[in-house]
Structure 1
Amino acid sequence: MRYQFISKLLFLTLLPITTQALELSWVGCGITRNAFMADLAAAYKDETGVDITIAGGGATKGIREITANQADIGGACRFKLDSSRVEASANMIPVAWDALVVVVHNSNPIESISLVQLRELYRGKITNWSQLGGADQPLELLIRKGKISGVGYTLRQHLFEDPKASFISKHEFPSSGPLEKTVEKNPNAIAVTGIASAHKRDFKILKLEGKEPSFEKIRTGNYLLYRPLYLVHNRHSPNSRESDRFIQFALGPKGREIIRQNDVVPYFDGMLLLQKRMEHWKQFVREALAKQ
């Protein structure tokens, strides 16, 4: 019996060991994905061995697939909607600050745009580049489809203080990626996107009110259009504990350094923005409107 037991033990120790490595899924905001998610996921895998698959689809998808337990972690460039039951259970964790920037083709001579001009652009009152000091050429405003995309929702709040405001344009895009690629190719295009992903593209970023969206200006609130970028977590999902570990990694020293290396301001680096954000913006909007 003793020899049979030893033989079985030896046999079992010689069998190949097959373990199922944990894999997380991330889905959501294309701006967050393009900015730093790939680098964060790679660094987390190096440290823990946990692989994270990354898919885009927009902020709304990033929130709603998490609440439906269809993904482990979401990415969003807007907060959850108070009026939405579908989004109510999402746990939103801010990890970075993103600036919204006006972008045009590299050949465009325009260097800056004002807040009033940006409002008029989205109201359909600016349709030719000559109205912005450029050539006598038709202007094509590119916008995100729907009213609750991350960029579109934030712009409606900031420019019009109305999340239901209508943008006047014939050129709608389902996500930020195709919109940004069109700006790279179309000399007449103009659009707004996040600085977090704009740095990875080949087009011109305009100044807003004469101010460049530099890292320091965003960090201190001296650039006007900014918003948080979120990771979205569901405490009741099967991989909730590992998802939370990844989020803590993103908020920790290594994660913040990776975000900085991608020219994005980590959330805790821009704590002044929490105090400035709403009152600073509303004051500026009212002053700008008074000049019209």
Structure 2
Amino acid sequence: MSVRVVRLLSLLLLGACLATPALAAGKKTTHHATTHHTTTHKAESSKAKASLIWRGDVTTARAVMDDMSREWQRSGHGRIELQPFNTASGIDAVAGGSADLAGSARASDGSAEDARLTFTPVAWDALVMIANRSNPVRSLSLRQLHQIYLGRITNWSQVGGSNAPIDLYAVISPNDGVEYSLRNLLFGRGTQQISAPRLYLNTKALEEGIALNPNGLGLSTLADVRGNSKLRAIPIGGVMPTAANIADGSYPLYTPLYLVTNPNSRKATEVKAFIDFLATDKAKAVLRDHSVLPYQDGIALVAKEDARRDKVYAEATASNAKPPLAAPGASYAAAAAIAPTSERALEAHKALDARREAKATGNYTVADGDTLESIALDNHVTQAKLRRWNHLKKDEALKSGQVLRISEK
């Protein structure tokens, strides 16, 4: 299913969700004029105070926005209307001007739409593999996780569990923040195709499915699943996902949470004030209550980012290879934003420029770490077409500096 189709489906469903309460309210009748007047006055007053609209993924809604919006209002600011659904709907809404802020558990993916927006990291959250509470598996390795997502490990008995199929769940949107961030770590690209036949619209629906399935396995975040007695968080390499283990880097799977804004928004001043508010002590206390790490509290993780990514990728792939730079907007956008002079970030920016030039010219110059598969994925073509357009033999290796046609024209 294409990104465009998924986004259209998401927007249609979101519109239905938002319209339902309004339709229901319209069917109600009020028998007392005084009560009706008071209710209307309160609604109008509340609407007048709604200064900002936030839309985005369920993860960022739960981890950052639910209680933060109330704290913001208690501090004398206007109300923030929350519309949790998924990453794509939030980014599209901010790009189109129908929302002022979006929530995302991934950085920019390097697309033209994302490049026009600003991704500001505000917190750190753990990427958590979740199973039904009855599941006996005590831990998974990064290698096992990699093989499960590729469909090479398919039974719980292969990882120390019962003799039962692993029912892998995922979120349907190709650019969902949580899924994208995990695949980026395990495979070096957030667009990696996986073997997950059970697809859900967001992490909330995914969690509900796993809670009912003793064989289920899926991805969520620490903030999402904390206190949910129907689910179990599975340690990675024997390390539990906790805020403390994120802070010291011992838990390997974590991601920044971002607020996405449009620099051309007519509410840019109010948006900046809210983002600045997240650095206050009051706001940090709200984040910690949700088991996430305020971004500045984990600032030491920035310096460790390249080493962390290399280690996770090497263990997951059982190799000494480094993650490819074929999708730098996804792989290193977070590091580039907060450490723009790091060596890997500069490499990423160069590779990103190359990708943009390739889309404009129809040609792509092969960089170190590129494979035919990664180039095909990034440019939404098949490997067979790339071979045909470039007269490549089936097992022919690519060379750095080689120029490939990436379109038929």
Instruction: Confirm or deny a common fold (TM above 0.5).
Output: yes
- Counterparts of residues 167-246 of structure 1 (less than 5 Å): 167-202=194-229, 203-246=231-274
Alignment of 1:1-292 (within 5 A): 20-82=48-110, 84-202=111-229, 203-290=231-318
**1:68-114 Cα distance to aligned partner (Å, 9 max, x none):** 111011111111121x2222221111100011111101111111111
- SS of the residue 1:107 aligns to: coil
Name the structure 2 match of 1:3: none
In the TM superposition, what whole-angstrom CA distance separates every residue of 1:18-70 from its partner, at most 9, and x where no partner exists?
97334311100210112231100001111124111111122222222112111
After the TM superposition, which of the residue ranges 197-206 and 220-229 deviates more from structure 2?
197-206
Residue 18 of structure 2 corresponds to: none
Q: Give TM-score, length-normalised by structure 1.
A: 0.89
Q: Secondary structure at the match of 1:87?
A: helix
What CA distance in whole angstroms lies between the structure 2 residues aligned with 1:112 and 1:287?
15
Q: Tell me which amino acid in the other structure corresponds to 1:35.
A: A
Residue by residue, what CA displacement relative to the aligned partner does 1:222-241 show, whole Å, maximum 9, x if unpaired?
11011100111223222222
Which residue identity is paired with 1:72?
A: D
| Cα offset, 1:187, TM superposition | 0.9
Letter in 2 for 1:109: P
Task: Give, in whole Å, the separation in 2 of the partners of 1:288 and 1:68.
Answer: 38
Distance 1:71 1:216 in 2: 34
Q: How far apart are 1:272 and its partner, in Å?
A: 1.2
What secondary structure, in the 3-state scheme, does the structure 1 residue paired with 2:219 have? strand
Q: Are the counterparts in 1 of residues 50 and 80 from structure 2 also a CA contact under 8 Å?
A: no
Pairwise CA distance, 1:145: 1.1
Are the equivalent residues in 2 in contact too, given 1:66–1:234 (CA < 8 A)? yes
Runs of 4+ in 1 over 3 A off after TM superposition: 287-292
- The Cα offsets for residues 112-152 of structure 1, whole Å up to 9 and x where unpaired, read as 11111101100111222111111111220001114211122
Confirm or deny: 8 A CA contact 2:146 2:317 kept in the other structure: no
Q: Is the 8 A contact 1:142 1:190 kept in 2?
A: yes
Higher relative CO (CA 8 A, sep ≥ 6), structure 1 or 2? 1
Please give the alpha-carbon distance, in whole angstroms, between the structure 2 residues aligned to 1:142 and 1:288.
Answer: 19
More helix by share: 2
Q: TM-score, length-normalised on structure 2? A: 0.64
Shift of 1:280: 2.1
> Aligned-pair distance for 1:162?
2.6
- Read off the aligned partner of 1:285 and give its amino acid letter: Y
Residue identity matched to 2:311: Q
| 8 Å contact from structure 1 (residues 98, 228) kept in 2 | yes
Tell me how far apart the structure 1 counterparts of residues 211 and 304 of structure 2 sit (CA, whole Å): 33
Asked if the contact 1:34/1:200 (under 8 Å) is kept, the reply is: no
Residue equivalent to 1:12 = none
8 Å contact 1:100–1:225 — kept in the other structure? yes
| Counterparts of 1:71 and 1:288, CA distance in 2 | 38
The change in CA–CA distance for 1:246 and 1:212 in structure 2 (over 3 A counts) is same
User: What is the number of equivalent residue pairs in this alignment?
Assistant: 275
Which SS does the other structure have where 2:147 is aligned?
helix
Summarize the Cα distance change of 1:175–1:118 in structure 2 as closer, same or farther, 3 Å threshold.
Answer: same
Q: How many angstroms apart in 2 are the aligned matches of 1:54 and 1:237?
A: 18
Deviation per CA, 1:262-285: give whole Å up to 9, x if none. 111000000111011222221343
1:77 counterpart letter in structure 2: A
